[in-house]
Amino acid sequence: MDTQKIARGAAITALYVVITYFLAPISFGPIQFRAAEALTVLPIIFPEAVPALFLGVMLANVIGGLGMVDIVGGSLVTLLAAYVTYKNKDNFFAYLSPILFNAFLISIYLHLLFDLPYWLNVIQIGLSEAAVVLILGVPLIKYLKKHF
């Protein structure tokens, strides 16, 4: 991995943490709108975004207050979604993978932590993730493809 990729990966990690930190009141819990999730589509263009997003979520979830289940669980779900996004970078599943994995997997432990109906969590997390990925992430990728 060259220096430029390492620097870009570090920037992605830092950006994820900073966005999540500054929007913390709406970034955690069973009802959330995590704007930093727009970055989950970056593996479409930048393979180094896969480990960068994993690390970014891990660090961001430390401040979230939900404990190890969120730090480890959220990070692993992001790693899975980022890898699938990278592997499917030439089709629409690249955009769907963070939406689907977050909706169905993050909702498992949010359901248990907050004693809320699983399917209600799936719908809320899925809609929030879809909004962020489709409204912010898709234009981000279009911009980056045009300029990089």
- Residue 131's φ and ψ, nearest 5 degrees, are -60, -45
pLDDT band of 21, cuts 50, 70, 90: very high
The C-alpha atoms of residue 81 and residue 53 are separated, in whole angstroms, by 10
Segment 53-68 mean pLDDT = 94
Helix axes 107-114, 68-87, angle to 10 degrees: 160
DSSP 44: G
Answer yes or no: is pLDDT of 39 > 80.
Answer: yes
